Structure 1
Amino acid sequence: MKLLKKLLPSKALAFIALSVFGITAVNAQDAADDIANKLQNPLSSIIALPIQHNLGMGIPGMDGTTYTMSLQPIVAQEFEKFSIVHRGVMGLSYLPATTGLENNLNPQFGITDLNYSFFFAPKNVGKLAWGIGPSIDMPTATSDMLGTGKWSAGASLALVYQTNGWTFDMIFRQTVSFAGDQNRNDVNTFVGQTLIAKSLGKGWMINTFPTIVANWNAEKGQQWTVPVGGGISKLVFMGKLPVNLGVQYYNNVVKPDHVGQHELRFMTTFVFKK
């Protein structure tokens, strides 16, 4: 540094310092945008832990707001011509006491059922990426109100298209019960998630990612839950660890009688491999 001061005038040193700082800032922004876009793609080769906090409001027969903390780990394995993406969903839920029912229940708190899926995703398939694989639901819930009491299995499919900062993807899952508590209702459930996301730069993202559910065993008019809404997220760095922070709101425009009207989501995603 002393040698540089002798060889270069102070204005030149200041210019070099500002240039290096500017390049570093641009690289950090590019890295944030790249990771933020990967997080919108369910087939990305990443290892991450999304933690989702869901607040359910306006639920008939319940004295208050429901809460679920959902852990949704993602682990991708890369091979020469394909990748396998493992995805899990496990939750910890609180249900307030029921009111106005024939047999009111006390508040419930505990673990929900566990879902595990994986996608076999070929590489170099063009602009439309896809993945397919099995899905299984395990009756791990600690309360009848928090789970189905059934083992269920089926298939899952993911379709992804990304271009110019836009991401469009769909994830479908259909499971049917095959074992479990014989005194509980059979399961025949479809879950569909359609994402539309737009990168705003500097790690900012706006998106909509509603979870559409169909219970095929329910009575007519009580089968579908269809939310409408969206939110915003921001990719930041905690030291060298990328963390995506987001919030979303949804209104259930179609729903069974027992499902709440509103849902508020807070999301934190820790990215361990990008």
Structure 2
Amino acid sequence: MKKTLLFSIIFSLSIIGFAQEEESASDLAKKLANPNATLGQMLFPIDYIHYSGDIPDANNQNAFLLNFQPSLPIPVSEGLNLYVRPLIPIYLSQPVIGSSDFESKGGLGNISADIAIGKTWPSKWITLAGVFGGFPTATNKALRSSQVTLGPEFMVAKLTSFGALGIIISHAWGVGDPSDPDATSTTVTPDDFWIAASGSANASVTAGQYFYTINLKNGWQINATPTYSYNHNGTDGNKFTFPIATGAQKVLKAGKMPIRLGLQYWYYVARPDAFGPQHQIRFTVAPVVPLPW
């Protein structure tokens, strides 16, 4: 019985993989433009970030960051999906403000995750509501958040004749004692929504992402997915971070597996005066995988 069940699962996944292979790259790219598509992806965003600011030597600081985010939606009914999406950051090189100068740190970052329900309506509008959380899991205390953060998350998007566009908004409140002696809040990590306020105040950060996709031919698309944040407890001039962005991506086949490759450029028109990101280049590798259910 167990062998029969195992064979059935392997056979089913093979059929799904074959169907994906037969589908054209252009058609698959259009499906992936839908933020509520029932398609599995293993996302690997790789970021290069250049910083600037008023702190001495801030303009010479750069970071390299690798993220891993599996996205395996669970279909509930037609057009209704459940999402449980962890985001695991790995800092290859991250500048932090030390006792007298900048220092470069690396290691596992603070893992975050969201649980949400997405719905596609007959009008081609898409809504999503859920809960977002961030956790102080960083292996290096200079990269570790001082609090667990929790809060609501919302998305609204529109499928259009050219592709899709939308925005995600979340708010995170700090939970627990923010004066953890083993953690520091001097780290600048523009992609993480768990950024704690300076000092001993509880974290209160409104953050999110806007995105757009324009379908072209042969699996090519113009797209961008930049993130923004507003630290309510930050000092004047050091609260708002917002980039404008553009990029391109293409879906291609590596054997039987479709892979989405993308390159984006973000320019931060608003950033902390003291120390914040100015330029960011994101390269994304995202294999499209069969759903396990």
TM-score normalized by the length of structure 1: 0.82
Q: Which has the larger radius of gyration?
A: 1
- Residue number in structure 1 paired with 2:193: none
* Partners of 1:44 and 1:250 in 2: CA distance: 25
Assess, with a 3 A threshold, how the Cα gap between structure 1 residues 98 and 188 changes in structure 2: closer, same or farther: closer
Question: How many corresponding residue pairs?
Answer: 247
Assess, with a 3 A threshold, how the Cα gap between structure 1 residues 67 and 83 changes in structure 2: closer, same or farther: same
Partner of residue 57 from structure 1, selected from 27, 45, 50: 50
Tell me, yes or no, if the aligned pair for 1:97 and 1:104 is still in contact at 8 Å.
no
Partner of residue 75 from structure 2, selected from 58, 75, 78: 78
Gaps of 5+ in 1: 1-26
Partner SS state of residue 237, structure 1: strand
* Partners of 1:160 and 1:192 in 2: CA distance: 13
Identity of aligned residues (%): 21
- Residue number in structure 2 paired with 1:247: 263
Measured against aligned partners, the alpha-carbon deviations of 1:40-77 in whole angstroms (never above 9, x if no partner) come to 33322121111011111134445542011011111100
Assess, with a 3 A threshold, how the Cα gap between structure 1 residues 40 and 187 changes in structure 2: closer, same or farther: farther
Assess, with a 3 A threshold, how the Cα gap between structure 1 residues 45 and 180 changes in structure 2: closer, same or farther: farther
Partner of residue 24 from structure 2, selected from 15, 21, 31: 31
Give 1:260's aligned amino acid: P
Assess, with a 3 A threshold, how the Cα gap between structure 1 residues 180 and 47 changes in structure 2: closer, same or farther: farther
Partner SS state of residue 25, structure 2: helix
The aligned runs of 1:125-274 (5 Å cut-off) are 125-183=122-180, 185-257=201-273, 258-273=275-290
- Residue number in structure 2 paired with 1:108: 105
- Residue number in structure 2 paired with 1:46: 39
* Partners of 1:116 and 1:253 in 2: CA distance: 27
Runs of 4+ in 1 over 4 A off after TM superposition: 27-30, 96-99
Gaps of 5+ in 2: 1-19, 181-199
Tell me, yes or no, if the aligned pair for 1:151 and 1:180 is still in contact at 8 Å.
no
Tell me, yes or no, if the aligned pair for 1:42 and 1:158 is still in contact at 8 Å.
no
* Partners of 1:251 and 1:29 in 2: CA distance: 38
Instruction: Provide the alpha-carbon RMSD of the alignment.
Output: 2.4
Assess, with a 3 A threshold, how the Cα gap between structure 1 residues 202 and 223 changes in structure 2: closer, same or farther: same
- Residue number in structure 2 paired with 1:90: 88
